């Protein structure tokens, strides 16, 4: 149902529970590949039961033929790197399906944009822009700042800000380093960096 | 037994002792009191008051049963249809609720039950004068709808919320046969529509010709094209129509036409709100804003499916009068929301997506000083570190919208400080539902559990009756709820708590608790037993993926005979005694016989 690209959630997620009570393994089963449901044995915490991931009474054949549970696949192996809890978050299927239809129909590529120091996160649709110049102009308008000129060697000259993005591999890159089409498909989120951090990124190339 | 609208009974033959042949048809003295009582009870409309009145003595019980015209059945399995129709003889309006709420999230097997058919037959036999039927989370077939359509000549109102099992044929039967129909509201229900190669039945054309009595027509969830010409004709000959909610197959130009036909509309659900295939590129599009200006009584807007935000300015003329706005299917950002919301000074109800970000919430807080209900739904339901709304948004709302009574807020991060702020700034809160999508998330600033935040809510919001908790929570949170949540009637818990003690606090401390739904929390048999004194006062208890054993459930079933304990398990032969789902409810009648194989009802 969601885009399939949650790799190892543990690595990217900040989670600091009470020391000693809640271990890092909090029973979310995240594996690269799942060959069958039974091969994932969750790490048990004293106080918590293993989560019923991707199993629900709705799957039971005894309980009727039609299964509207979008969270499970059929008898074939579930897609890899998918960590999904049935019925969580608690949103009615009606609503989920409606939004799903809309976003698929729209075909937009939405990424979050954050700027160091700004309190609010923004969201943009990369599909709307034809290339880097339009994107940068839009960012300048959105955050009321100037970004400066891009140069391969020196990054963004002429301002304190540099637009960066996180790609599918989790690396932070300078916006403009790769061809536009490649950027659009690999960009996960944008971050407008400020100050020396930005310059450092540029020089690392 | 009375058959007319009056409450005077058919008088028995006079047996007055005051004269041998006197045919004075005055009622005997004890009946006088009953007649007076019946007349007085007509004025009692609140069902809780009526329940209290029925407990005074037998004659009050009888009088109340005779005069109750609005019957509310909170759980379709709590009483048999026969028991209900035997006691209440003059019901004109019936509400029945079926499946537990967690069914909405695919936690209940599909064919679990809540079938309307037994109710349908009982109603057809006992209440030929039935006028209104409201069903929620019930399963009803086209035949059921056909029965309704043909059995009640005075039928006026059908409202189906979160129902399923029926299709267009059933709806068509209602349209064709209910000549006095005023309300046909199909809300968030799953309606079977034809497969692609089959022809879609034109149910709109099934409404009879001539002027209709229609006041409300909502078919947003009927997901198939409609005959627009027929729809326009229907609207044109429905002078009393006030509420119209369209599905996504009605385009903006079509909406424009409908609005000009029915400028008296007060509630509009737009169909799709984007560029239409009807309008060729380069064509002059109608002035959509003029339609919104023409509907001077408009107070409620919803729909906005497939929205192209460029069209939002069309609704500006209506904003100043709007009390309710539902943009929760519209992915708009802060900049697109602001020009709209900044005009909505009278707004009381707002449903949005978190795409508006904290910045959008800031705009809401700045303008909507009269806001009573806010719901913020997530576009992205994955468990992430950051999200577009956060404690920042919650806090600004609490500062700007002091009259807030009900909030449902999905987010990826939340702090205790923001929740505490809301508890102090919004003392009128009756419903507080916070869903931090990342499970077991602590306060990101302090790394503490969210206990104190929810504790402040139950402590400071003295009118609170409904609470949903999330984030990292220890037993302490439940201790607060048990201590301060004295008016709480509905509590939703997921992935929370440390031990049995947590649930004990709640079952022992919350005397008004009626609906308790818990999933994936470490509460076990000892906790369940601590509620024995209270279970008969509850409508239901749901516990899934907790630590209950079948044996403990069996014990409870034996101890409390009027409790139905449904154990739902997907696996047949299990090694240990632990159960997946317990759905428990009070019931005056024998256990139901329509349960699927995966459900065992313990007695």
B221–A102 CB contact, under 8 Å: no
Question: What token pair was written down for A18?
Answer: 């009470």
Helix axes B451-460, B475-484, angle to 10 degrees: 0
Lowest-pLDDT range of A163-172, B25-34, B50-59: B25-34
Per the structure block, which two tokens stand in for A182?
């490649």
Residue B55's pLDDT is 95
Residue B227 is predicted with a pLDDT of 95
Percent of the residues in chain B that have a pLDDT greater than 90, as a whole number:
84
Please, are residues B542 and B521 in contact by the beta-carbon 8 Å criterion?
Answer: no
Backbone angles phi, psi at A151, to 5 degrees: -140, 145
Give bridge partners of residue B71 from the DSSP assignment.
B94
User: What pLDDT was estimated at residue A50?
Assistant: 36
- Whole-number average pLDDT of chain A: 63
> What percentage of chain A carries pLDDT values higher than 90?
4
Residue B394 has pLDDT above 60, yes or no: yes
How many angstroms separate the CA atoms of A152 and A203, rounded? 9
- Identify any residues that bridge with B161 across adjacent strands, giving them in sequence order: B136, B187
Residues of A in contact with B571 (CB under 8 A): 60
Q: Is the model's pLDDT at A54 over the cut of 60?
A: no
Residue B573 banded pLDDT, cuts 50, 70, 90: low
Q: Do B494 and A90 touch (CB under 8 A)?
A: yes
Confidence bin at A200 (pLDDT 50/70/90):
low
Please give the ipTM for the structure prediction: 0.87
Provide the pLDDT confidence category of residue B568 given band limits of 50, 70 and 90: very high
Å between A137 CA and nearest CA of chain B = 16
Is A48 in a helix, a strand, or coil?
coil
Give B76-119 as a 3 state SS string: CCCCCHHHHHHHCCCCCEEEEECCCHHHHHCCCCCCCCCECHHH
Candidates B412, B478, B407; CA nearest to B444 is: B412
- Does the pLDDT value for residue B2 go beyond 50? no
Average pLDDT estimate for B228-256: 96
Q: Are A89 and B107 in contact (CB < 8 Å)?
A: no
pLDDT-derived band at B397, boundaries 50, 70, 90: very high
pLDDT (0 to 100) of residue B450: 98
- The residue of chain B nearest to residue A105, with distances taken between CA atoms, is B306
Q: Is residue B299 pLDDT above 90, yes or no?
A: yes
State both tokens at B551: 């044996």
Beta strands in B209-340 (DSSP E): 216-218, 243-245, 267-269, 300-302, 324-326
What confidence score (pLDDT) does residue B204 get? 97
Mean pLDDT, range B193-208, rounded to an integer:
83
Closest Cα to residue B184, out of B209, B212, B223, B215?
A: B215
Provide the pLDDT confidence category of residue B382 given band limits of 50, 70 and 90: confident
Distance CA B505, CA B485 (A): 11
Strand partners, B494: B519
Contacts of B108 in chain A (CB under 8 A): 57-58
Q: In angstroms, rounded to a whole number, what is the distance separating the alpha carbons of residues A127 and A124? A: 9
> Which of A35-39, B162-166, B178-182, B316-320 is predicted with the least confidence, judged by mean pLDDT?
A35-39
Q: 3-state SS of chain B: helix, strand, coil percent to 5?
A: 35, 20, 50
Task: Please give the DSSP secondary-structure letter assigned to residue B328.
Answer: T
Which value, in Å, is the radius of gyration of the alpha carbons in chain B? 27
Is residue B210 a contact partner of residue B234, using CB atoms and an 8 Å limit? no
* B390: Cβ contacts below 8 Å, ≥ 6 apart: B358, B411, B412, B413, B414
User: How far is B292 from chain A, CA to nearest CA, in Å?
Assistant: 24
Burial class (CB in 10 A: 0-12, 13-18, 19+), A64: middle
pLDDT at B280 over 70: no
Q: With H, G, I as helix, E, B as strand and everything else as coil, classify residue B58.
A: helix
Average pLDDT score over residue span A185-200: 78
Radius of gyration of chain A (CA): 21
Which secondary structure element, helix H or strand E, spans residue A104, and what is its range?
helix A93-106
Q: Report chain B residues whose CB lies below 8 A from the CB of A90.
A: 102, 104-105, 435, 492, 494
Instruction: Please give the C-alpha separations between residue B451 and each of A27, B410, B437, B470, in angstroms, as whole numbers.
Output: 21, 18, 16, 10
As a whole number of angstroms, the distance between CA B466 and CA B475 comes to 19
> Distances from the Cα of B232 to the Cαs of B170, B181, B218, B246, in angstroms?
22, 18, 15, 12
pTM above 0.80, yes or no: no
Residue carrying structure tokens 């809160």: B429
Question: CB of A127 within 8 Å of any CB in chain B?
Answer: no
Cβ distance of B107 and A12 shorter than 8 Å: no
Q: How much is the average pLDDT of B115-141?
A: 98
pLDDT of A177: 87
More confident residue, A137 or A13: A137
Look-up: residue for tokens 């607060």? B480
Mean pLDDT of all residues belonging to chain B: 92
Over range B76-99, report the average pLDDT. 97
Comparing CA positions, the residue from B343, B347, B406, B353 lying closest to residue B376 is B353
**What pLDDT does residue B155 have?**
98
Residue the block writes with tokens 């009606």: A94
| Chain B residues whose beta carbon lies within 8 Å of the beta carbon of residue A99 | 329, 331, 353, 379
Element (H or E) spanning B166, and its range? strand B164-167
pLDDT(A33) > 70: no
Least confident piece of the model among A175-179, B1-5, B88-92: B1-5
**A86 three-state secondary structure:** coil
Is the pLDDT score of A76 beyond 50? no
pLDDT of residue B74: 97
Q: What is the pLDDT of residue A14?
A: 57
State pLDDT tens for residues B490-535: 999 999 999 999 999 999 999 999 999 999 999 999 999 999 999 9
What is the distance in angstroms between the Cα of A120 and the nearest Cα belonging to chain B? 6
Residue B11 has a pLDDT of 44
* pLDDT score recorded for residue A39: 35
């Amino acid at each position: 149902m969601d885009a399939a690209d949650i790799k190892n959630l543990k690595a990217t997620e900040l989670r600091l529970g009470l020391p000693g009570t809640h271990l890092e393994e909090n029973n979310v089963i995240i594996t690269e590949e799942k060959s069958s449901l039974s091969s994932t044995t969750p790490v048990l915490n004293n106080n918590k039961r293993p989560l019923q991931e991707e199993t629900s009474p709705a799957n039971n054949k005894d309980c009727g033929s039609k299964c509207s549970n979008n969270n499970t696949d059929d008898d074939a192996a579930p897609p890899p790197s998918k960590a999904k809890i049935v019925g969580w978050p608690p949103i009615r299927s009606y609503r989920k399906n409606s939004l799903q239809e809309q976003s698929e129909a729209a075909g937009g590529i939405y990424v979050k944009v954050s700027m160091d120091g700004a309190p609010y996160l923004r969201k943009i649709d990369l599909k709307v822009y034809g290339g880097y110049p339009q994107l940068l102009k839009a960012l300048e308008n959105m955050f009321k700042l100037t970004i400066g000129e891009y140069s391969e060697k020196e990054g963004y000259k002429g301002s304190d800000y540099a637009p960066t993005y996180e790609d599918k591999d989790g690396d932070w890159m300078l916006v403009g380093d790769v061809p536009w089409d490649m950027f659009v498909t690999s960009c996960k989120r944008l971050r407008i960096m400020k100050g020396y951090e930005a310059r450092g990124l540029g020089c690392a190339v | 037994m009375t058959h007319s609208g009056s409450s005077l009974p058919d008088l028995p033959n006079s047996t007055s002792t005051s004269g041998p042949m006197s045919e004075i048809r005055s009622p005997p003295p004890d009946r006088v009191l009953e007649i007076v009582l019946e007349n007085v009870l007509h004025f009692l409309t609140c069902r809780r008051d009526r329940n209290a009145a029925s407990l005074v003595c037998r004659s009050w019980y009888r009088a109340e049963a005779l005069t109750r015209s609005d019957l509310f059945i909170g759980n379709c399995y709590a009483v048999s249809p026969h028991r209900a129709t035997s006691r209440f003889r003059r019901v004109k309006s019936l509400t029945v609720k079926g499946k537990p709420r967690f069914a909405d999230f695919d936690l209940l097997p599909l064919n679990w039950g809540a079938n309307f058919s037994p109710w349908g037959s009982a109603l057809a036999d006992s209440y030929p004068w039935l006028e209104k039927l409201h069903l929620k989370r019930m399963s009803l077939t086209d035949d059921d709808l056909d029965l309704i359509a043909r059995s009640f000549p005075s039928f006026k109102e059908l409202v189906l919320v979160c129902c399923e099992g029926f299709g267009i044929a059933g709806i068509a039967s209602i349209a064709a046969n209910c000549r006095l129909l005023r309300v046909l509201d199909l809300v968030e229900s799953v309606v079977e529509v034809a497969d692609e190669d089959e022809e879609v039945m034109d149910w709109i054309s099934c409404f009879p010709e001539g002027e209709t009595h229609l006041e409300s027509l909502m078919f947003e969830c009927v997901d198939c094209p409609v005959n627009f010409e027929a729809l326009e004709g229907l609207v044109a000959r429905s002078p009393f129509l006030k509420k119209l909610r369209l599905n996504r197959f009605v385009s903006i130009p079509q909406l424009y036409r409908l609005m000009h036909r029915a400028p008296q509309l007060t509630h509009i659900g737009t169909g799709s709100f984007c560029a239409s295939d009807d309008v060729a590129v380069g064509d002059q599009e109608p002035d959509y804003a003029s339609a919104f200006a023409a509907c001077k009584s408009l107070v409620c807007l919803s729909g906005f499916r497939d929205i192209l935000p460029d069209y939002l300015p069309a609704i500006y003329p209506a904003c100043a009068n709007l009390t309710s706005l539902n943009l929760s299917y519209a992915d708009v950002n802060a900049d697109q929301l602001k020009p709209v919301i900044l005009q909505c000074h009278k707004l009381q109800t707002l449903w949005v997506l978190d795409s508006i970000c904290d910045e959008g919430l800031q705009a809401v807080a700045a303008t909507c000083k009269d806001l009573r209900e806010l719901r913020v739904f997530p576009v992205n339901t994955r468990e992430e570190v950051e999200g577009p709304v956060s404690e920042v948004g919650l806090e600004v709302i609490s500062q700007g919208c002091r009259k807030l009574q009900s909030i449902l807020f999905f987010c990826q991060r939340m702090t205790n400080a923001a929740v505490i702020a809301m508890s102090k700034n919004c003392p009128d809160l009756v419903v507080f539902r916070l869903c931090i999508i990342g499970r077991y998330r602590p306060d990101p600033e302090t790394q503490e559990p969210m206990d104190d935040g929810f504790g402040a809510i139950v402590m400071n919001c003295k009118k609170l009756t409904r609470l949903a908790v999330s984030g990292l929570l220890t037993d302490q949170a439940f201790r607060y709820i048990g201590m301060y949540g004295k008016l709480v009637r509905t509590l939703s818990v997921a992935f929370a708590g440390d031990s049995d003690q947590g649930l004990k606090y709640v079952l022992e401390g919350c005397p008004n608790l009626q609906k308790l739904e818990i999933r994936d929390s470490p509460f076990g048999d000892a906790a369940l037993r601590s509620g024995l004194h209270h279970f008969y006062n509850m409508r239901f208890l749901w516990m899934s993926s907790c630590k209950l054993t079948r044996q403990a459930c069996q014990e409870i079933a034996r101890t409390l005979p009027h409790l139905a304990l449904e154990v739902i398990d997907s696996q047949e032969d299990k090694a240990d005694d632990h159960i997946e789902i317990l759905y428990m409810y009070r019931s005056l009648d024998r256990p139901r016989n329509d349960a699927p194989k995966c459900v065992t009802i313990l007695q």
